[in-house]
Chain A
Amino acid sequence: MRDDCTSLERLLHDYAEGWLEAAEQGRLTRHLEGCFNCQEKLKAWSAVGRALRELPCLPAPAPASVTPVNEGEPEFALRLALAMCLPVALMITAYSRQWRPPEWEQLMPYESLLRLTERAQDWVITLWIWLRGVL
């Protein structure tokens, strides 16, 4: 790097942002025309700026409070109640018949089930990121 490049660095940054007076702007343009180092530095800076601009927006965690049932939509409460009926009915049936789940351990060993769930979580995350990118 040439000697004056180091002393020009701060000016070069302001030049890149368009903060300089016309006279200084001209001086930097002339320097840049003959200086490969400063050209490279400008490119690297603009890459950093671009990377910052392109940082993805992250989804905020869902509010801790349960979403209140909207008073304006009685349908929602009805749908919720109906949706709750099915698992409750299943639970009552299962309890009354002393029903037990089939032998999961034999069908699928615990280890492979764990691995499968972990992979499923990764899919969900990937799908999530993709969906947020699309929407």
Chain B
Amino acid sequence: MKLDDATLVAQCLQGDTRAFDTLVERYRDRVFSLAFRILGEASAAEDAMQEAFLRAYTRLPLYDPAQPFSTWLLCLTARVCLNARRDRATELRYLEQAAKATPPAPTVEERLYEREQRRTLQRLLMRLPAAQRTAMLLYYYEELPLAQVARALEVPEGTVKTWLYRGRESLRRWLEEELG
């Protein structure tokens, strides 16, 4: 029987760690995808995914069941990603890692992401400022309501509207340039 998110969260709060494993299994692809699309790199996205689930676990008592668990988790993921970007130390670590000679042969997964990155849209998304990109992804890709996006990014709704407008106009212009 497939338990719904609310039941699993309740079980988890009663100390059943397996319930949380089920939630992780259910959302890991979605959390990873969002992180990858914000950060543009598989290893950084993987770290962000770990951090997001860890934070979700420790902050679960603060979760308000009035909103869907997925919304809460994805907003939390977006914040983790934006913080990771601001964290210069982390960025430097990735640069160091990237600079290391002879990287190991890419696995099937890594080749998948490389292929994805070569796709125009993801590449153009990375040209947008991080906050604008995150707003675009939460609103269009995750289809979260405007108010949720504003709360997740800790800015007024008007700012999100402006970001969405600018982001969409930039993408339209770049896509037209690229595709002729």
**Cβ contacts under 8 Å, A31 to chain B:** none
Is residue B123 contacting chain A, with contact meaning CB distance below 8 A?
Answer: no
> Size class of A's contact patch?
20 to 34
Q: Is A60 engaged at the interface, CB distance under 8 Å to the other chain?
A: yes
| Contact assessment for B140 and A128 in the assembled complex, using a CB-CB cutoff below 8 Å | no
Check if A100 is an interface residue, CB within 8 A of chain B.
Answer: no
Is A24's beta carbon under 8 Å from chain B? no
Is there an interface contact between A52 and B140, defined as CB atoms closer than 8 Å? yes
Please tell me which stretch of B9-17, B61-69, B95-103, B108-116 contacts chain A, meaning at least 4 of its Cβ atoms lie within 8 angstroms of it. B108-116
Bound: A57/B45 CA distance, A: 13
Main SS class of interface, B:
helix
Q: Which residues from 20 to 49 on chain B have a C-beta closer than 8 Å to any C-beta of chain A?
A: 28-33, 36-37, 42, 46, 49
In whole angstroms, how far apart are the Cα atoms of A65 and B36 in the complex?
21
A-B contacts at CB below 8 angstroms, number: 79
Closest to A122 in B: B111
Residues from chain B with a CB closer than 8 A to the CB of A85 are none
B144 contacts the other chain (CB 8 A): no
Cβ contacts under 8 Å, A19 to chain B: 146, 161
> DSSP class of A's interface residues: helix, strand, loop or mixed?
helix
Q: Restricting to A47-92, which residues have a CB under 8 Å from any CB of B?
A: 47-49, 51-53, 55-61
Closest to A124 in B: B108
CA distance A45 to B176 in the complex (A): 11
Known interface pairs A13-B169, A19-B161, A44-B176; A58-B122 also in contact (CB < 8 Å): no
Given A9-B169, A48-B168, A59 contacting B161 (CB threshold 8 A): no
With A17-B161, A48-B172, A52-B136 given, can you name 4 additional A-B contacts, CB distance below 8 Å?
A13-B164, A14-B161, A51-B175, A125-B115
